[in-house]
Amino acid sequence: MTGDRKPTLGVGLVGHAFMGRAHSQAWRSVAAFFDPPYTPVMAALAGRSRERAAAAAAALGWAAVETDWKELLRRDDVQLVDICTPGDSHAEIAVAALEAGKHVLCEKPLANSVAEAETMVAAARAARARGVRAMVGFNYRRVPAVALARRLVAEGRLGRIHHIRAQYLQDWIVDPEFPLVWRLDAQKAGSGALGDIGAHIIDTAQFITGDRLVGVTAITETFVKERPLAADAAGLDATAEGGAARGPVTVDDAALFIGRTAGGALASFEATRFANGRKNALRIEINGSAGSLAFDFEAMNELWFYDGTGETATAGFRRILVTEPEHPYAGAWWPPGHGLGYEHTFTHQVADLLTAIADGTDPEPSFEDGLQVQRVLDAVARSAASGSGWTPIEDPQPTA
Amino acid sequence: MTGDRKPTLGVGLVGHAFMGRAHSQAWRSVAAFFDPPYTPVMAALAGRSRERAAAAAAALGWAAVETDWKELLRRDDVQLVDICTPGDSHAEIAVAALEAGKHVLCEKPLANSVAEAETMVAAARAARARGVRAMVGFNYRRVPAVALARRLVAEGRLGRIHHIRAQYLQDWIVDPEFPLVWRLDAQKAGSGALGDIGAHIIDTAQFITGDRLVGVTAITETFVKERPLAADAAGLDATAEGGAARGPVTVDDAALFIGRTAGGALASFEATRFANGRKNALRIEINGSAGSLAFDFEAMNELWFYDGTGETATAGFRRILVTEPEHPYAGAWWPPGHGLGYEHTFTHQVADLLTAIADGTDPEPSFEDGLQVQRVLDAVARSAASGSGWTPIEDPQPTA
Amino acid sequence: MTGDRKPTLGVGLVGHAFMGRAHSQAWRSVAAFFDPPYTPVMAALAGRSRERAAAAAAALGWAAVETDWKELLRRDDVQLVDICTPGDSHAEIAVAALEAGKHVLCEKPLANSVAEAETMVAAARAARARGVRAMVGFNYRRVPAVALARRLVAEGRLGRIHHIRAQYLQDWIVDPEFPLVWRLDAQKAGSGALGDIGAHIIDTAQFITGDRLVGVTAITETFVKERPLAADAAGLDATAEGGAARGPVTVDDAALFIGRTAGGALASFEATRFANGRKNALRIEINGSAGSLAFDFEAMNELWFYDGTGETATAGFRRILVTEPEHPYAGAWWPPGHGLGYEHTFTHQVADLLTAIADGTDPEPSFEDGLQVQRVLDAVARSAASGSGWTPIEDPQPTA
Amino acid sequence: MTGDRKPTLGVGLVGHAFMGRAHSQAWRSVAAFFDPPYTPVMAALAGRSRERAAAAAAALGWAAVETDWKELLRRDDVQLVDICTPGDSHAEIAVAALEAGKHVLCEKPLANSVAEAETMVAAARAARARGVRAMVGFNYRRVPAVALARRLVAEGRLGRIHHIRAQYLQDWIVDPEFPLVWRLDAQKAGSGALGDIGAHIIDTAQFITGDRLVGVTAITETFVKERPLAADAAGLDATAEGGAARGPVTVDDAALFIGRTAGGALASFEATRFANGRKNALRIEINGSAGSLAFDFEAMNELWFYDGTGETATAGFRRILVTEPEHPYAGAWWPPGHGLGYEHTFTHQVADLLTAIADGTDPEPSFEDGLQVQRVLDAVARSAASGSGWTPIEDPQPTA
């Protein structure tokens, strides 16, 4: 606690809704469990309303408040900007922060369009040359079970991959009376289920397999075309009649696509907010010539592994409780069998980010990774919009 | 046991391999559990080799043996012909049997092509006018859990259907050294995973929802292009070198497709023989506006049902053990919790068939149903062959 | 089918209720799947009411009917007597049949008392000397998953056994208005949940582990003390008032006991008919120094196995689908993943019995095994009746 | 953030091992999620080694360090003492803290003996009269699924309780070479599996049912009688030979007991550290006349509920994902389906404690509750030590 005290790294957070709360808990907890090379300091939080930002800062543990995110870039006590706003502002904030010499952690999807994402990648490449780091927040990579899955594939335990089967199933807008929140507005959100949760399964599946989609054919649907205006969105274009005012849903409720990977696998993806009873079922199955994996985030501490190389009589999918010291991230927390929760993935994310910054290496997933996911999303949207034609995907950084 | 003795109905079986054994067990067992209107008499079995047919007849309980299936049509003690041969002979046998006035139970898929299936439908319609019945053997409809699923949908318990998610996953040819059996030969089998197991999930999903596919986009793949010639197929085109002889796999190893239904649902289908660790995983999930269902044949006595209309605090997928007297077929067997097995579905099939014959009604699934499945298979194959273009499906018998 | 025709073995069945139906299906099916050394002939069925016995014989496939089981012993075409009556008649029938030189298959529990069971063992021993065989029908030993469990323990895959955790949970009398059927009458049934289903878990747990209980302490309870008289039991002692007539429940609704085995394991047992929602949950867990097993009959085609000797990172309970050719009994039926049902256990039972008769070996479980289970039941009942005191169990045939 | 700033409450922590880390995370997180009436201030941590305590304080977020817990009682900035030491010091610290006017949160088990626990209850009662609060840390009550279970029982959804089936299964000392840590030393730990994890299932089962054990019969076992001395325990009584030094295990490896409750239920309990493959399987099943519940901490976000009062055809155990706003505690965290982890239970615990202090009510579980659990543990130990005789349990605070 004296001469060997760690250096600090000041963090500025933009946005304090769902993602802002999750990221705050990560910054608050990381040093207690991971012995990171920097002690993070929760320097300042930026939000448009001073009152709400101040309340959030007090509850979440941020030392100061700004009402303009640009002020964060001017603060000397901020070395890293953590972007937790809707996708339409990612590009502007991230590019500015990188240019200001701040490391950036940007929530997914990287942007609302390929063009924006390309701009961000250019900024990240320029910053990288100056030792400034950029990371996109695909937090599900940091579920211990997902990280273990990736390790097993990398070790060759699955052999040649034949099948990827990925679904992200939610049900929070099944009710047609659920209001028209910003996530259902294409201007704000870019797309619907596709960009919000489809992005996660694209990244997670590609991360686990180390393989990438090269083409897709897709269908999307908006089951409920109009919804009641949300209370705080009512100002936008609502007529005065109050509860009766409705507006059009401008994003997809569900997106399905099938495709092929560079490595020769067949892949099936489905993202929907209409899977009644499924609350946050990010499900991935991988079948290979030597074995198989299955994962469902609703039971996030479990990875199911089938080893097809042993004796037949005792072969079967095994439920690995991913809470052992031998497992990724798990040893930092509790004894075996004492499971982790959703927000732990964000703590792992910042632990890895701090390590990469200290080591002078590029954190993963990079903005290039984020751009590649954006290109898949774009191909899916174009295929769906054009009668489900086959749509190739250009890879900005093809695997060797 | 005297005056009210039931009439008998003589059955002739064509084929005595896997399906022939399953059908035999059904004919042998049905009267002990279902009180059918006819007592079936296992009159004769037809097989090419007299020796093997005789051994099968002795083991399986058939009274006589024929080496030509046409002889069954001439027998007065045969009123029903049960076709358990590969798909390439279905049309010829079924049409002849119907024309000979025999009721027909024909294994799925109905035929190896739409054209053949259309011929069979024409014959079935002509026969129907004479009181002769035809049924195609999609046995999975008769899993009690599947029949219960259909009932719940029909009762409106799921509301409007948004999603169908169907997979049939097997792994018996993952090993590249598995030989080139007839099921991998397009001439015999028509197609691979698509027609063999894809046909089942198409029928089962459409049966449960009462809805039909109107278009698809598809991809198929043959992961292992050449395989060792099977011992009994070696005569076909093997070179003389014995074990080293290989031949081309002419069918698909896996088929994926997504589509839309007449009722407005999005559907995802996958049939594969390369899902390592999945042995007979016919899995179906249905999500509707009021509730959801999930089924996996590997746990065939369970149906998972989510009722989205009750209180939130206790909502959850419930594991219904489909073994109650209130459940389809189950009451005929054992007390609750005493599960059924695979072959029971065939017993249910013949019980329903005998009842339909006695009632003078058309058994389901009809040859028209079989033709419609054939058209879906054909659309999938055409889409896959033409770069995954969207391919509409004509319905021979659209639902009102 | 000529010179090598198999010898036949005539069977006479006593009783045609639940167990009689299950045994009939076994006799009817065994030759189609197992190639037994004898072709069983379903010679005659004995039941008190000629009318009901004749109807059962017609449905179940028995060639003749007797109204007195003693007539079966006089028939030359009966070489084996299969006893499916309530426990109070087992001893009389079995002893007489064995003395008449008939092989005997007797349903469990072997008898309603230790004294009766001892008489039966004496008769079985005398018969054995004359080549006449006796077997008690603990059918759950023949669930493929249970047989595989036994094999894994015997192979040392679990190491030293530390824990046995066995439950048999049903719920068919939770409703206090469920009537007073014979199974709730101590005169007929001997005991309640204890003898009916507790006997099964005692036998199954001892079978899997190859170990035996040496002492227990127990509690039993009758939650519902009086019930409406059953329609067909009303003649016994009902007062005339019809529906209002009630009688005392004279057996246990539930029995719990804990104990120690000869091998040093701790064991916990629970048998109940009041586990709401559990329909036929025969559940067994075994924990050993090298691994563990778990089984639940409600998912009878699955065995869960934990191998504690491999790498930690991929250790987990694996769900073995016990339907492979490598698994006990499974190869005789269907391809992998095509599960079996309840009655298959009876088919396996008679297949093994026919083999033992042909081989001149003693079938298992023997009457001695049945007597040992009876002694455990007796110790449980005595412990419960005497304030849960520790009660040692004498083993008639201690393991070496 | 000005006039309405909340009052603070200073906390002093004793001990910084496993439990100290978990409690620290709770104090650090509670204000971010629960809006507690006090803002907790992590004032000081006490540990014997200044160096290790200082390192822990830095990592875990405590402002100051003491090397004697008594110093915490003298600090004006400490209003609450949180005791996370082994059980042998609980009584001394808790009594002194309460007498010093500090609120106390004491880890379970309350003490290592009934006598100590009685002293603590006396101190708690005296303190209560002065507005000073005492709580024992049975954290599993605060798993949302467990709290929901309790609510369902309290609402009458299970009807009359017939069965309690509770197990706490771990496997961390299956290896005979695992060292003789303090938890295996009766002087430090009081007992083994019984007091450590058995205490949890006793409390949890009684909490859920609102019912209490009135008598038990028990067996315990120490499977491995001697173990290598732990590195830091080697000073105690090790001979000098280094690695070869072994010492006797003086606590139970496993404890089984069955009993009856005041409300007439039968209960079965098992606590073991030898259940190979079970990592932290705190499992509870409750069967009642109207429904049933099942819970396993290894899947801590799920509660299984069987409603026996609805239609039979759709009855089944439903998997409730306990992550909805309607569920206890869950609404404070993340959207539905985003599960919680082990340490969240501690956050819930301090949230409830702070509320009780502010409200001037007694937090639950009280020291009386802890004493009652201690009496059950004592009865189990006495029964096991005396040949498993029936042992009644005196309730210090019987339910009405």
Residue C109 has pLDDT above 70, yes or no: yes
Q: How far apart are CA A302 and CA A307, in angstroms?
A: 16
Determine the Cα angle at C277 with ends C271 and C283, to 5°: 40
Structure tokens at A187: 């201007």
Q: What pLDDT is attached to residue C4? A: 60
Return the residue of A nearest to C336 by Cα: A312
The share of chain A scoring above pLDDT 70, in percent, equals 94
Which of C148, C151, C314 to probe by mutation at the A interface, max A CB count within 10 Å? C314
Predicted confidence band at B36 (pLDDT cuts at 50, 70, 90)? very high
Residue C240 has pLDDT above 70, yes or no: no
Same domain for C180 and C212?
yes
Query: Rounded to the nearest 10 degrees, what angle do helices C114-129 and C367-385 cross at?
Result: 170
Q: Which residues of D touch C218 (CB under 8 A)?
A: 258
Residues of C with CB under 8 A from a CB of D: 162-163, 165, 167, 169, 171, 174, 217-219, 221, 223, 254, 256-260, 264, 266, 268, 270, 272, 274-278, 287-292, 306, 308, 315-317, 387-390
| Partner-chain contact D314 B318, CB within 8 Å | yes
| Partner-chain contact A219 B223, CB within 8 Å | no
Q: How far apart are CA A195 and CA A183, in angstroms?
A: 10
Q: Which chains does chain C touch, 3 or more C-beta pairs < 8 A? A: A, B, D
Q: What pLDDT is attached to residue D26? A: 98
Query: Of C132, C16, C14, which is closest to residue C83 (Cα–Cα)?
Result: C14
Phi-psi region of B388 (alpha: psi -120 to 50; beta: other; left: phi over 0): left
| Partner-chain contact B305 D327, CB within 8 Å | no
Residue D334 has pLDDT above 60, yes or no: yes
Instruction: Determine phi and psi for B326, rounding to 5 degrees.
Output: -75, -10
Does C267 fall in a domain?
Answer: yes
Q: How far apart are CA C322 and CA C329, in angstroms?
A: 9
State which of B90, B118, B139 marks the end of a domain.
B139
| Partner-chain contact A276 B258, CB within 8 Å | no
Q: How far apart are CA D323 and CA C325, in angstroms?
A: 43
Q: Which helix (H) or strand (E) holds C14?
A: strand C8-14
Query: Of D208, D200, D206, D203, which is closest to residue D292 (Cα–Cα)?
Result: D208
Please check whether residue A18 is in contact with residue A49, taking contact to mean a CB–CB distance below 8 angstroms.
Answer: no
Nearest by CB: B320 against D305, D315, D321: D315
Q: What Cα–Cα distance (Å) separates residue D201 from each residue in C397, D108, D204? A: 38, 12, 5
Query: Rounded to the nearest 10 degrees, what angle do helices D18-34 and A50-60 cross at?
Result: 170
Q: How far apart are CA A21 and CA D33, in angstroms?
A: 9
In tens, the pLDDT along C63-80 reads 999 999 999 999 999 999
Please check whether residue B123 is in contact with residue B94, taking contact to mean a CB–CB distance below 8 angstroms.
Answer: yes
Mean pLDDT score, D296-314: 97
In tens, the pLDDT along D137-178 reads 999 999 999 999 999 999 999 999 999 999 999 999 999 999
Residues of C with CB under 8 A from a CB of A: 148, 152, 157, 304-305, 307, 311-321, 324, 326-327
Q: Which helix (H) or strand (E) holds C13?
A: strand C8-14
Q: What pLDDT is attached to residue A397? A: 61
Phi-psi region of D18 (alpha: psi -120 to 50; beta: other; left: phi over 0): alpha
Q: What pLDDT is attached to residue C398? A: 52
CATH number of the domain within which C76 lies: 3.40.50.720
Same domain for D216 and D322?
yes
Q: How many domains does chain D have?
A: 2
Same domain for B272 and B385?
yes
SS3 A333: coil
Please check whether residue C38 is in contact with residue C7, taking contact to mean a CB–CB distance below 8 angstroms.
Answer: yes
Please check whether residue B134 is in contact with residue B104, taking contact to mean a CB–CB distance below 8 angstroms.
Answer: yes
Residues of C with CB under 8 A from a CB of B: 1, 18, 21-22, 24-25, 28-29, 31-32, 35, 54-55, 58-61, 170, 172, 278-281, 297-302, 321, 323, 333-344
Q: What Cα–Cα distance (Å) separates residue A44 from each residue in A36, D5, D134, D347? A: 20, 20, 38, 25
Q: Give the number of C-alpha atoms closer than 13 A to the C-alpha of residue A371, restricted to the C-beta side.
A: 22
Predicted confidence band at C3 (pLDDT cuts at 50, 70, 90)? very low
Which of C161, C175, C266, C314 to probe by mutation at the D interface, max D CB count within 10 Å? C266
Question: CB neighbours of A5 closer than 8 A, spacing ≥ 6?
Answer: none
Which of B5, B18, B334, B346 to probe by mutation at the C interface, max C CB count within 10 Å? B334
| Partner-chain contact A315 C312, CB within 8 Å | no
**What is the C-alpha radius of gyration for chain B, rounded to an integer number of angstroms?**
21
State which of B112, B139, B166 marks the end of a domain.
B139
Mean pLDDT score, A386-400: 79
Within B35-131, residue ranges assigned H as helices are 50-60, 69-74, 90-99, 114-129
Same domain for A123 and A203?
no
Does A127 fall in a domain?
Answer: yes
Does C1 fall in a domain?
Answer: no
Nearest by CB: C312 against A304, A314, A326: A326
Q: What pLDDT is attached to residue A203? A: 98
How far off is chain D from C50, nearest CA to CA, in Å? 36
How far off is chain B from C359, nearest CA to CA, in Å? 21
Q: How far apart are CA A163 and CA A142, in angstroms?
A: 22
Q: Which residues of A touch B256 (CB under 8 A)?
A: 258, 266, 268
The alpha carbon of D326 is separated from its chain's Cα centroid by a whole number of angstroms, namely 25
Does D399 fall in a domain?
Answer: no
Q: How far apart are CA C328 and CA A45, in angstroms?
A: 65
Mean pLDDT score, C314-330: 98
Residue C242 has pLDDT above 60, yes or no: no
Residue D78 has pLDDT above 60, yes or no: yes
Nearest by CB: C270 against D268, D315, D388: D268
Q: What pLDDT is attached to residue B394? A: 86
Same domain for C176 and C111?
no
Instruction: Determine phi and psi for A351, rounding to 5 degrees.
Output: -60, -45
Question: CB neighbours of C92 closer than 8 A, spacing ≥ 6?
Answer: none
Same domain for D351 and D380?
yes
Q: How far apart are the first and last CA of chain D?
A: 46
Predicted confidence band at C397 (pLDDT cuts at 50, 70, 90)? low
Return the residue of D nearest to C312 by Cα: D277
Q: What pLDDT is attached to residue D4? A: 60
Predicted confidence band at A232 (pLDDT cuts at 50, 70, 90)? low
Predicted confidence band at C359 (pLDDT cuts at 50, 70, 90)? very high
| Partner-chain contact D319 B318, CB within 8 Å | yes
In tens, the pLDDT along C335-355 reads 999 999 999 999 999 999 999
Query: Of C362, C354, C350, C368, which is closest to residue C130 (Cα–Cα)?
Result: C362
The single-letter DSSP state of residue B289 is S
Mean pLDDT score of chain D: 94
Q: What pLDDT is attached to residue D50? A: 97
CB-based burial, A78-104: b 16+ in 10 Å, e otherwise: bbbbbbbbbbbbbbbbbbbbbebebbb
How far off is chain A from D299, nearest CA to CA, in Å? 7
The more confident residue out of C231 and A398 is C231
The more confident residue out of C6 and A392 is A392
Q: What Cα–Cα distance (Å) separates residue D107 from each residue in B2, C291, D10, D284? A: 79, 33, 18, 21
Please check whether residue B136 is in contact with residue B110, taking contact to mean a CB–CB distance below 8 angstroms.
Answer: yes
Q: Are strands B213-221 and B391-392 parallel, antiparallel or unpaired?
A: antiparallel
Does D344 fall in a domain?
Answer: yes
Query: Of A316, A334, A310, which is closest to residue A324 (Cα–Cα)?
Result: A334
pTM for the full predicted model: 0.96
Residue A92 has pLDDT above 70, yes or no: yes
The share of chain B scoring above pLDDT 70, in percent, equals 94
In tens, the pLDDT along A128-148 reads 999 999 999 999 999 999 999
**Domain limits for position C62:** 8-139
Q: Which chains does chain B touch, 3 or more C-beta pairs < 8 A? A: A, C, D
Residue C244 has pLDDT above 90, yes or no: no
Same domain for D41 and D181?
no
Same domain for C156 and C124?
no
> Count of CB atoms within 10 A of residue C41's CB?
17
Structure tokens at D208: 């859920």
Within B112-182, residue ranges assigned H as helices are 114-129, 144-154
Does A75 fall in a domain?
Answer: yes
Please check whether residue B321 is in contact with residue C279, taking contact to mean a CB–CB distance below 8 angstroms.
Answer: yes
Same domain for C54 and C170?
no
Q: What's the longest Cα–Cα distance across chain A?
A: 70
Count helices and strands (H / E) in chain A.
Answer: 12, 17
In tens, the pLDDT along B261-273 reads 999 999 999 999 9
Q: How far apart are CA D22 and CA D19, in angstroms?
A: 5
Same domain for D129 and D230?
no
Nearest by CB: D305 against B157, B314, B320: B314
Return the residue of B nearest to D157 by Cα: B314
Q: What pLDDT is attached to residue D243? A: 56
Mean pLDDT score, A179-199: 95
Residue B250 has pLDDT above 60, yes or no: yes
Mean pLDDT score of chain C: 94
Residue B171 has pLDDT above 90, yes or no: yes
Q: Which residues of D touch A278 (CB under 8 A)?
A: 337
| Partner-chain contact A316 C318, CB within 8 Å | yes
Q: What Cα–Cα distance (Å) separates residue C191 from each residue in B239, C55, C88, D117? A: 71, 31, 11, 43
Same domain for A97 and A154?
no
The single-letter DSSP state of residue C354 is H
Nearest by CB: C258 against D165, D219, D390: D219
What sign results for the dihedral spanned by CA atoms A134, A139, A144, A147? negative
| Partner-chain contact A335 D59, CB within 8 Å | no
DSSP assignment of C256-315 equals: EEEEEETTS-EEEEEEES--TT-SSEEEEEEEESSEEEEEEGGGTTEEEEEETTS-STT-
Nearest by CB: A60 against D1, D32, D58: D32
Please check whether residue B224 is in contact with residue B246, taking contact to mean a CB–CB distance below 8 angstroms.
Answer: no
Mean pLDDT score, D224-243: 65
- Burial label for B339, CB within 10 Å (0-12, 13-18, 19+), is buried
Q: How far apart are CA D164 and CA B130, in angstroms?
A: 64
Q: What pLDDT is attached to residue B239? A: 46
How far off is chain D from C282, nearest CA to CA, in Å? 15
Structure tokens at C375: 């002694």
Same domain for B135 and B156?
no
User: Is the previous residue joined to A365 through a cis bond, with omega within 30 degrees of 0?
Assistant: yes
Mean pLDDT score, B285-290: 98
Q: What pLDDT is attached to residue A1? A: 39
How far off is chain A from C257, nearest CA to CA, in Å? 29
Does B399 fall in a domain?
Answer: no
| Partner-chain contact D335 A18, CB within 8 Å | yes
In tens, the pLDDT along A340-368 reads 999 999 999 999 999 999 999 999 999 99
Q: What pLDDT is attached to residue A235? A: 45
ipTM topping 0.85: yes
State which of A80, A113, A139 marks the end of a domain.
A139
Q: What pLDDT is attached to residue C238? A: 41
Please check whether residue C12 is in contact with residue C46, taking contact to mean a CB–CB distance below 8 angstroms.
Answer: yes
CATH number of the domain within which C227 lies: 3.30.360.10
In tens, the pLDDT along B278-287 reads 999 999 999 9
Nearest by CB: C324 against A148, A307, A313: A313
In tens, the pLDDT along C174-225 reads 999 999 999 999 998 999 999 999 999 999 999 999 999 999 999 999 999 9
| Partner-chain contact B277 A259, CB within 8 Å | no
Does A355 fall in a domain?
Answer: yes
Q: How far apart are the first and last CA of chain C?
A: 46
In tens, the pLDDT along A3-50 reads 457 899 999 999 999 999 999 999 999 999 999 999 999 999 999 999
The single-letter DSSP state of residue D194 is I
Nearest by CB: D313 against B315, B317, B326: B326
Mean pLDDT score, A169-192: 95
The share of chain B scoring above pLDDT 90, in percent, equals 92
